[in-house]
Each structure stands twice: as C-alpha cells, then as structure tokens.
Amino acid sequence: MEARTVVALAVVLAVAAVVAGRYFWVGRPEPVRAPELVTGAAPTAAGPATRRTPAGAPPVVVDVSGTVRRPGVLRLPAGSRVADALRAAGGARPGTDLTGLNRARVLMDGEHVVVGAAAPLPGVASGTAAAAGPGGGAGPVSLNSATVEQLDTLPGVGPVLARHIVDYRTGHGGFRSVDELREVDGIGERRFADLQPLVQP
C-alpha cells in the first residue's frame, strides 16, 4: 500500500513538473523589436515657406529696373517672387521706398519690375500715366510696356485684371491695337469704353 502511494505521488509530482515547465516556457518574456520611425524628407534651408514648382517648369525672365544695385534682365526659377528678383538685382539702394511694391507676388515671364519709381512710358516725359489718371496730362498708358502696378491704377482695373492684361500681352506677342482689350478675360464693352481713351498699344 505504501509502495503504491509512493508511486502515485511520484506520478503526480512528475505531471506537475511538466505542467509547470510548460507554463514557464509559454509565459517567459520575449524580446520585442521597436517599430522603425517613419520620417519625411529633411527640411530645406528655406523652411516651410519653400515654394513647390513642377519639375522641369521653365524659368521666368524679368526686367528689373529702378533703384536697384544691378538693374537688368534676369532669369529666375519658376515660382520666384518679386523679393527674389530684388535679391538677384543686388537689392534696393538705400533710401528706396518699397511701400508700393508687393514683394510676395509671384513673377510672370516677361514682366517688368520697377523698384522705387514707375517705369517711364513712351511719350511720357516724367511720372506715370497711371499715377496721373484721366485728364492728368501724362498721356495714355501703353498696353505693351505698362507694368501690372501701372495697369492696376486704371479705372475699373484691379490687380487680377491687370495680370490678365499682362498675360494676354505675353501670350499673344503684345497688343497690335486697343481693340484687342476686348479679348482679355474680364473686360466687357462697358469697361472697354472706359479704358479706350486712356490706353494705347
């Protein structure tokens, strides 16, 4: 009887040892690999305000004149702004008033950027036709040489329409007649009638 008890006790202990071993094996700590960090592209020196332009976009060619250190025709990357043109031209000369110049505006190909003073128009001795306004005696505004800023000051012409006029001029090789203003997006018959005596090709 005692031998059977000893045998039974040994069996129970053996089973318990097996169960305990399995429990220990299943519950043992296992090394876990940390997930890899996903990082974006490294920030550029220009910071978050860096412009993004389509790859292969053609550069813009602009004429910078006025009170800058190195006036002339400049070739700049697509998406450049007036401030970039100023830097490329050596910056404005000391004492230049830049209040009326929108340095954040995106440049258009073929544009004329005048710094510190408006560009003289053909037949205009001094000042600008846009500044003189109707009856100012300075003469009509030239559609083929006026800047966006000059066109913006014409009656009924805001910055958007002025840009449309410059876009049309660039895309069609200039204005051959004042009547072509009718083909510019945003100019109806009434607005054309107001502008006709104030402009010339």
- 180 backbone dihedrals φ, ψ, rounded to 5°: -65, -15
CATH of domain 119-201: 1.10.150.320
**Structure token digits, residue 176:** 């051959």
pLDDT of residue 66: 84
pLDDT of residue 175: 87
Same topology, domains 57-117 and 119-201? Answer is: no
CB atoms near residue 97 (< 10 Å): 11
pLDDT of residue 100: 74
* Unique residue bearing structure tokens 């440049």: 107
pLDDT in tens, the chain (201 residues): 566 676 677 777 776 666 666 655 555 555 556 555 444 444 443 433 445 556 678 998 988 888 889 988 899 999 999 999 999 999 988 888 887 788 888 888 888 888 875 444 443 333 333 334 444 445 688 898 888 888 988 888 888 999 999 999 888 888 888 899 999 988 989 888 889 889 888
CATH entry 3.40.1130 includes domain 57-117:
no
In order of 22, 53, 56, 147, 165, the CA distances from 108 in angstroms are: 76, 14, 16, 11, 12
Q: Which residues pair with 200 in a beta bridge?
A: 142
The pTM (predicted TM-score) of the whole model is 0.38
Q: Which residues pair with 142 in a beta bridge?
A: 200
Pairing of strands 72-76, 60-66: antiparallel
- Rounded Cα–Cα distance for residues 107 and 113 (Å): 9
Query: Domain extents for the chain?
Result: 57-117, 119-201
**Structure token digits, residue 138:** 């300075």
Q: Are 103 and 83 in contact (CB under 8 A)?
A: yes
- Rounded Cα–Cα distance for residues 169 and 184 (Å): 9
- 51 backbone dihedrals φ, ψ, rounded to 5°: -80, 145
